Chains A and B, each alone.
Chain A
Amino acid sequence: MPDRQDVIVVDDLEKTYHLGEVEVKALKGISLNIKEGDFLVVTGRNGSGKSTLLHQLGLLDRPTSGKVRLNGRDATIMHEKERNRLRLRELGYIFQEFALISELTALENVMLPAMMLEKTSACKQRARELLAAVELKEQADHLPSQLSGGEQQKVAIARALINDPAVICADEPTANLDLVSAHEVLDIFYMLNTVANHTIVMVTHEHEETVYGNRLITLSDGKISHEE
């Protein structure tokens, strides 16, 4: 395999929350490198810091200390506008709860991020292709409320892919899905990684899902306790 470049470099990352007067250290000095083409599965018990780490990688939150470099650029010191630009172009984020806009159809939800960059017709065309790829061609004009959980998550995946991001971050994407839908979603991630060479970081607490990745880290009490 040719030498792969680091897409994300995490250096001594710490995140502390303040719940009233109580200080909760969610991340305690995490360091890791994610290379192009990695399918990194992050696992651990509830409260181990998995989602907190993913929020940092997805630039949805800022750390208390440490650095997150995306394609060599330190995102932790960037202005919010620049972080926004990276979220739009370089990152695709998939939430556990799908996070679709309820008043937009599947097609409109998928094309929305692309409308920041391209003409409507081009956005629509690409969104249709992506929906077809996740086998939702017929449901393109359905509202989220008219879709099953699995279908909504597929729409969220298509939305995450619309701007062809460098990294896809998925936060427990199967947690709200039935077994069949969960496998469909995981198969999509697997194909995205192995066929389309997308870099994927997926958080899960389901042990059996760890087999889909090519790297695994386990978090425990805000630290990496195991890595393979």
Chain B
Amino acid sequence: MKSDKRIPLFLILRHLRRANKWTFALIIVLLAVAFINLIFINSLFNGVIESNNNQIVAFRTGNIDLTPAEGQEYINDPERVVREIEKVKGVRVAAPETDVPGSLDFNGAKGDYSVTAIDPDSEKRATEVAKKMVKGSYLDPEDREGIIIGAEIAGEKDNGAKNLSFSGVRVGDELTLAVGSQKRDFTVRGVFRTKSNQADDRTFITEAALQSLAPELSGRASNIIIRTDNTGMEKEMVARLKAAGVNGTFVTWQEVAESLKTLTDSFVTINALLTIVGFFIAAVTIFIIIYVDITHRRQEIGILRAVGIKSNLVVSTYVLQGAVYTFFGVTLGTALYFGCIYPYFRAYPFQIPIGDVTLTVSPGDFVFRALTVVAVGVLSALIPAIIATRKGILDDILGR
């Protein structure tokens, strides 16, 4: 290579090879921490939003919730509709649910809680409520006298809704369900806690129980929960279901999430604010680290200029160094994040009242933050390098 453009690379490679290893390591670790700080907060809030979305899919609507066609109160012959739905490619399972218009009574305390009749077998595959039993067990399909209730109704300790609950229902207790003039005692088989406020205020009985309690509702469903093989292709699945002749109103989980947007909007706003603060802190941290490092190398800048190295090459050398430092910082940060932090919080999620929150990284956010860190590194090197090359050579060499 004859061009003098090779000089910055020549100097940087030797700097990386021979600079004080501890100083270099410290700089890289600090840059990595600044980068992790930048993605951690974002990932956490993305995790909250994702957790909320997952809860909708897992505990409430599935991927798609099929509700009765406009003007109809129920989906008739749900078994036939389920068979039609399950024939469609990409559908994993469909589970009909029937809302029971009734009220519950426990030791004189009454509440108009949502009571839903389900087929426990298909419901187990369509939702994840069965995995969230904290007391007792899930329903058996043939159980005509059992009921499972959400923690908010049972009155679990610290559920934050004691005034709306039965304040301490236990497995084996009896609840009275009144549907019209019919009344029936149900034995509590279990209590579930999903941490989703979409699910923990629900109660479930079996379709078999509903049949004996309100035979007029037999063969009708309020909605059918549809789980698909892949999340994120709901619009395409709706089109397929319609094409297969499935009638009704299709509501995707995204549409439900949109209707709950006030919650996620708040997190988006907080995330944006903290991201701005995080960017500022990271930028200042990176700037200080690199600025101080390059300012301490002013004598070297002066020597390079004194022996005739062009100022633009001197500046390029330190800009390249800033880019290399931040590249290593981002690389180490990425390794630490995905090697330690991310798996740790996947295994041990944050236990917060609205659900278990893990870290969620969006590739776009990640790349943007990584590029921002490198850009700040370049700028942090550019400024002191330009200042140094505009000063007198002797000022640089003598540190004046």
Inside 8 A of B15's CB, which chain A residues have their CB? Answer: 103
Contact of B308 among A61, A89, A95 (CB under 8 A): A89
Other-chain residue from A87, A102, A120, A163 in contact with B306 (beta carbon distance below 8 A): A87
- How far is B306's CA from A61's CA once the two chains are assembled, in angstroms? 10
- Which A residues lie within 8 Å of B209 (CB)? none
Cross-interface CB contact of A116 among B19, B300, B310, cutoff 8 Å: B310
Is B257 an interface residue, CB under 8 A from the partner? no
In B369-400, the 8 Å CB interface with A consists of 392-394, 397
The stretch that binds B, out of A1-9, A32-40, A77-85, A220-228, is: A77-85
Taking CB as reference atom, which chain B residue is nearest A160?
Answer: B307
Report how far A55 CA is from B303 CA in the complex, Å. Answer: 13
- Please, how many residues of chain A have a CB less than 8 angstroms from a CB on the other chain? 32
Proximity bits, B1-45, A CB within 8 Å = 1, else 0? 110101100110011011100000000000000000000000000
Which of the residues A60, A89, A117, A119 comes within 8 Å of B394, measured between beta carbons? Answer: A60
Least distance between A132 CB and chain B CB atoms (Å): 21
Q: Which of A23-31, A107-115, A199-207 contacts B (4 or more CB under 8 A)?
A: A107-115
Partner of B307, one of A81, A85, A117, A159: A159
Known: A55-B394, A61-B392, A108-B14. A120 touches B307 (CB 8 A): no
Distance (whole angstroms) from the CB of B121 to the closest CB of chain A: 71
B1 in contact with A88 (CB, 8 Å): no
19 contacts between A and B (CB under 8 A): A61-B393, A81-B311, A84-B311, A87-B305, A87-B306, A87-B307, A93-B306, A99-B397, A100-B303, A103-B14, A103-B18, A104-B14, A112-B304, A117-B4, A118-B2, A120-B1, A120-B6, A143-B18, A163-B308
Interface residues on B, range: 20 to 34
What residues of chain B lie closer than 8 Å to A113, measured between beta carbons?
307-309
How near does chain A come to B249, taking the closest CB pair, in angstroms? 71
Q: State whether B305 touches A101 (Cβ < 8 A).
A: no
Residues of A within 8 A of B4 (CB): 115-117
**From A104, which residue of chain B is reached at the shortest CB distance?**
B14
* Residues of chain B at the chain A interface (Cβ within 8 Å): 1-2, 4, 6-7, 10-11, 14-15, 17-19, 299-300, 303-311, 392-394, 397
Residues A88 and B18 in contact, CB atoms below 8 Å apart = no
Closest 7 CB pairs of A and B: A88-B308, A103-B18, A87-B308, A113-B307, A116-B4, A99-B303, A60-B393
Knowing A99-B397, A103-B19, A116-B4, say if A80 contacts B10 (CB, 8 Å): no
Cα-based distance from A103 to B6 in the complex (angstroms) = 17
Q: A116-B4, A119-B2 are in contact. List 12 more A-B contacts (CB 8 A).
A: A81-B311, A84-B308, A84-B310, A87-B308, A101-B11, A103-B11, A103-B15, A108-B10, A108-B14, A115-B6, A116-B7, A120-B1
**Alpha-carbon gap, A101 to B7, bound state (A):** 13
CB of B83, distance to nearest CB on chain A (Å) = 75
The reply to whether B1 and A119 form a contact with Cβ atoms under 8 Å apart is yes
Q: Which residue of A lies closest to B309 (CB)?
A: A116
Q: Which residue of B lies closest to A93 (CB)?
A: B306
Most buried by A among B4, B19, B307: B307
A112 contacts B393, CB within 8 Å? no
Q: How far is the CA of A103 from the CA of B304 in the complex (A)?
A: 13
Quick check: B7 and A112 within 8 Å, CB to CB? yes
CB-CB < 8 A to A120: which residues of B? 1, 6
Q: Which residues of A contact B303 (CB under 8 A)?
A: 99-101
If A55-B394, A118-B2 touch, whether A60 touches B306 (CB-CB below 8 Å) is yes
* CB closest residue in chain B, given A80: B311
Among residues of A, the one whose C-beta sits closest to the C-beta of B303 is: A99
Q: Which residue of B lies closest to A112 (CB)?
A: B307
Cβ contacts under 8 Å, A87 to chain B: 305-308
Q: A88 and B307: CB pair below 8 A? A: yes
A58 to B302 Cα, complex, angstroms: 14
B305:A84 contact, CB within 8 angstroms: yes
A62 to B393, CA, bound (A): 10
Interface residues of A in 20-76 (CB under 8 A from B): 55, 58, 60-62
With the chains together, A143 CA to B18 CA distance in Å? 9
Which has the most chain A C-beta neighbours within 10 Å: B18, B308, B309?
Answer: B308
Please indicate the chain A residues that have their CB under 8 angstroms from the CB of B14 in the complex: 103-104, 108
